[in-house]
Structure 1
Amino acid sequence: MDNRGITLTGSPGCSFGSLDSSPEVSSMNAAEVRFCVRCGSELKPELRFGKLRPTCHQCGWIYFPDPKVAVAVLICQNDQVLLVRRVNEPYRGRWTLPAGFLDADEAPVAAVARECLEETGLKIRVTSLLEVIARQEHRRGAHLLLVYRGEILSGELRPGDDADQAGFFPLTALPPLAFESTAEIIQRFLESKDGRR
Structure 2
Amino acid sequence: MAGKARFCLQCGARLETRFLFGRDHPVCPQCGWIYFEDPKVAVAVLVERGEEVLLVQRLNPPLQGLWSLPAGFMDAHEDPARAAERECLEETGLVVRVTQLLGIVPGREHPSGADIVIAYRAEVVEGDLQAGDDAGKAAFFPRSALPPLAFRATQLILEGKIPQTHQHME
Q: 1:92 aligns with which of 56, 60, 64?
A: 64
Q: Is the 8 A contact 2:3 2:37 kept in 1?
A: no
Q: Distance in 2 between matches of 1:95 and 1:149?
A: 18
Match in the other structure for 1:122:
94
Q: Distance in 2 between matches of 1:61 and 1:100?
A: 31
Paired-residue identity, %: 53
Report the alpha carbon displacement of residue 65 of structure 1 after superposing the two structures with TM. 0.6
Map Cα deviations across residues 61-98 of structure 1 (whole Å, 9 max, x no partner). Answer: 11101100000000111200000011111001110000
Q: Higher strand fraction: Structure 1 or Structure 2? A: 2
Match in the other structure for 2:33:
61
2:135 maps to a residue whose letter is A
Match in the other structure for 1:37:
9
Q: Distance in 2 between matches of 1:107 and 1:173?
A: 33
| RMSD value, Cα | 1.5
**Residue 81 in 1 paired to residue 53 in 2?**
yes
1:95 maps to a residue whose letter is W
Map Cα deviations across residues 158-183 of structure 1 (whole Å, 9 max, x no partner). Answer: 00000010000001110111112211
Q: 1:134 aligns with which of 106, 109, 114?
A: 106
Report the TM-score, using the length of structure 1 for normalisation. Answer: 0.79
Report the TM-score, using the length of structure 2 for normalisation. Answer: 0.91
2:129 maps to a residue whose letter is L
Q: Distance in 2 between matches of 1:79 and 1:178?
A: 21
1:71 maps to a residue whose letter is V
Q: Distance in 2 between matches of 1:134 and 1:66?
A: 14
Q: How many residues align?
A: 162
Q: Distance in 2 between matches of 1:108 and 1:31?
A: 24
Q: Which runs of 5+ in 1 are unaligned?
A: 1-28, 193-197
Q: Which runs of 5+ in 2 are unaligned?
A: 165-170
Map Cα deviations across residues 2-51 of structure 1 (whole Å, 9 max, x no partner). Answer: xxxxxxxxxxxxxxxxxxxxxxxxxxx72542211222211111122232
